[in-house]
Amino acid sequence: MKLPILIINMKVYPEVLGKKALELAKVAESVARDLGVSIAVAPPITELRTVVEGVEIPVYAQGADPVEPGARTGHIPLEFIKETGAVGVILNHSENRLLLNDLGWLVGRARGLGLETLVCAPDPFTSAAVAALEPTAVAVEPPELIGTGKAVSRERPDVIVRTVELVRGVNPSIPVITGAGIEGFDDVKKAIELGTQGILVASAIVKARDWRQKITELANALR
């Protein structure tokens, strides 16, 4: 993971249905190239391979299930993500929570497969707990701010500061990323000033009328 990073979580918003996920990824790739900023995307799982094959920026799966390949139905084992060429996986997002045992199993197995793990947590103490699993990065996102346009860096700077402090205490080599309600340039700037090394953004970009303009605005704050 090249830091500082802007990670665009497309979720499953109707705006990225079908081929639109690749369109958004291509815009992100072009901005990353123009500005020389590290940008990654997490498309809907059904578009994962299409996006991986269509762009050169890093692509993450939005989640995985704690199962081995085999007689399962409707699950997403890590091995199937790895095979698409995705560089990693977001785990334990507030909208797709995992039991701690399962999270530990997934992080360890992903490491063995050479997949990066971006593990989400809702608060500083949980962030410290998941840092002990040694993921590639921890992303702190207060769930009540997700999708609200009220940026974590403005509304809850204390959460960011405390998370950075606690995660550093567990393992100083694990970067902290943040997200929830990030809307504009100043929100990103502030998040970085507070000690994070990247941001995770969904609605402000996916729902923007002009994807290029919004991605450029947020990416510029990382320069």
Active site residues per annotation: 93, 141
User: CB–CB of 75/18 below 8 Å?
Assistant: no
Query: DSSP strand E in 5-135: where?
Result: 5-9, 38-42, 60-61, 88-91, 116-121
Phi, psi of 67 (to 5 degrees): -135, 150
Choose between 7 and 167: whose C-beta lies nearer to ligand G3P: 7
CB of 201 to ligand G3P, least distance (A): 4
Three-state DSSP class for 20?
helix
CB of 19 to ligand G3P, least distance (A): 22
Choose between 61 and 204: whose C-beta lies nearer to ligand G3P: 204
What residues make contact with ligand G3P under the rule CB under 6 A? 9, 93, 141, 146-147, 179-182, 200-204
Choose between 117 and 203: whose C-beta lies nearer to ligand G3P: 203
CB of 151 to ligand G3P, least distance (A): 8
CB of 156 to ligand G3P, least distance (A): 13
Return d(Cα 115, Cα 170) in angstroms, integer.
22
Return d(Cα 68, Cα 117) in angstroms, integer.
17
The amino acid present at 9, given as its one-letter code, is N
Choose between 26 and 150: whose C-beta lies nearer to ligand G3P: 150
CB of 92 to ligand G3P, least distance (A): 11
Return d(Cα 10, Cα 116) in angstroms, integer.
18
Supply 145's token pair.
């701010």
Return d(Cα 82, Cα 221) in angstroms, integer.
31
Choose between 52 and 92: whose C-beta lies nearer to ligand G3P: 92
CB burial string 63-99: b at 16+ within 10 A, e below? bbbbbeeeeeeeebbbebbbeeebbbbbbbbeeeebe
